Amino acid sequence: MSQKQGQVLGVETGKRISPYLELCCLRISANVSYANAESDIAMLTGISVSDNTQQRLVQRTEFPDPVATEPMTEASVDGGKVRLRTPLGEICIWRDYKAVATDQGVMAALHDNPRLINWVNHQPLARTLTCLGDGHDGIWNIIAAFATPAQRREVLDWYHLIENLHKVGGSLKRLRQAEDLLWKGQVDDTLALFANQTRKPAQNFCAYLEKHRARIIN
């Protein structure tokens, strides 16, 4: 390929694969291992791109952070685990990561919570930023650094709230009553349902409600 043809097609000097094939490699490498990306690319395109080349493509590519085009109104923080490949025969390594999903973009980081916090705080923020999280302290420690206390509206994730409710067990009627009350944000009335319960699951749930009562909304 001549230099002029390379300029027209957007192919840099010394490259042997097209920008589109490179994009395909990056997308597949993001979902599977480099070794699997090699076999997937070969099957989908008929072109062989080695796993080492897949890795080099990822490592030399700059992935720009999302930039909000409108004031950000909501942010959901959650954690997950990613598996790191190890030499054949060794036990796999799992590492925790955190992610922020917003109405203006998504950001994830491995062992780099400050990056998530700085990214959110450098975006244009609405007067009220609704922040959604589960009951884990690590999640709320991140959210606590978003915007200002007056600007944040903190909301406990409904799924995890009800998941913790059903760990109490016991009367199904009482659980349904509690769910109806919690949907309306009536924490005190919910606590009253379990006031006479001495079992550890019920006491744990009451402590959970007390801890997050300001985050349980109507």
3-state DSSP call for residue 11?
A: coil
- Name the band, by pLDDT with cuts 50, 70 and 90, for residue 5: confident
- Does a structural domain hold residue 131? yes
Q: What is the pLDDT of residues 34-45, one digit of tens each?
A: 888 999 999 988
- Does a structural domain hold residue 66? no
119 in the same domain as 51: no
101 in the same domain as 36: no
Select, from the ranges 57-71, 74-88, 93-107, 182-196, the one with the highest average predicted confidence (pLDDT). 182-196
Q: What are phi and psi of 170, to 5 degrees?
A: 80, -145
With vertex at residue 116, the alpha carbon angle to CA 65 and CA 121, rounded to the nearest 5 degrees, is 85
- Does a structural domain hold residue 44? yes
Domain count within the chain: 3
Checking if the pLDDT of 20 tops 70, the result is yes
Name the nearest CA neighbour of 97 among 111, 86, 87, 77: 111
Q: What is the pLDDT of residues 113-155, one digit of tens each?
A: 999 999 999 999 999 999 999 989 999 999 999 999 999 999 9
Q: Report the C-alpha gap between 53 and 55 in whole angstroms.
A: 5
3-state DSSP call for residue 16?
A: coil
CATH label of the domain that carries residue 110: 3.30.420
- Does a structural domain hold residue 100? yes
The whole domain housing 84 covers 72-156
The answer to whether 99 and 123 have CB atoms below 8 angstroms apart is no
Helix (H) or strand (E) holding 210: helix 200-212
83 in the same domain as 36: no
pLDDT over 90 percentage in the chain: 58
